[in-house]
Amino acid sequence: MVNKLTDKEILDELRTITKNKAHWVTAIDDVAAKLGEQYSADVQAKALWLLGEMGLQYPLSVQLHIEQIADYLKDGNPKLRERSVNALGRIGRTNKDLILPYFDTMMNMRSDTAEAVRLAFVWACENIATGAPELFCDTLDLFYELISDKGERVRIEVPEMFRVMGKRLPHSVEPYLEKLEWFAQHDPHPVVRIHSSGAIRITKKALEESKHAADE
């Protein structure tokens, strides 16, 4: 009878796969097989994270597993919700179409009770917006609200979403420049001030470049 692998052995196996990027595409199914209740939360969390990184490199190869990844958005364990959001963000950075069926559910994670999940939500949106900023043009109000989130790490990160959007679709951020200026000047946290100032600077630069391009 074959002995069941311990958590440590499985996690060691996943760490080995993580380091061996040259063989990721052939290991995707093996990693996805670790998404199941028979495995511990730590194993599932590591598998979710790794599938996200694999999906960034080989999005079509993880396509069969995206629904299972997205199912964790509703999991009772906040660590697994966090890893699910993160994985969708990484996959969506490369191929937005693969995550569109789960986009609305993912957007609801902004209201998650766990700060780590809300932070992962912001990171995921930044990842997706890098290649598909048009998905977020009508959602910037909710990101503006998140600058006042009760979680410090969330507040620090959210202005970066405006920077990402401002660089790519500056006109979508233009209506928020005055509001961002308030945070840049008055927020009690220095990093929120710095990130808000950066978002303003990048957006104004992109607006100027857009104006020059239109004049030529």
| Tokens 């008055």 found at | 186
> Residue 6 and residue 71: Cα distance in Å, rounded?
25
- Joined tokens for residue 169: 């679709």
Condensed to tens digits (0 to 9), the pLDDT of residues 37-69 reads 899 999 999 999 999 999 999 999 999 999 999
The answer to whether the predicted template modeling score (pTM) of the entire model surpasses 0.85 is yes
> Residue 190 and residue 149: Cα distance in Å, rounded?
16
| Residue 212 pLDDT greater than 80, yes or no | no
> Residue 51 and residue 34: Cα distance in Å, rounded?
10
Residue 50 CB contacts under 8 Å (≥ 6 apart), including other chains: 14, 17, 18, 31
Residue 129 CB contacts under 8 Å (≥ 6 apart), including other chains: 135, 136, 161, 164, 165, 168
> What domains, with CATH codes, occur in the chain?
7-132 (1.25.10.10), 137-216 (1.25.10)
What confidence tier does 213 reach under pLDDT thresholds 50, 70, 90? Answer: confident
Q: What pLDDT is attached to residue 211? A: 85
Condensed to tens digits (0 to 9), the pLDDT of residues 118-141 reads 999 999 999 999 999 999 999 999
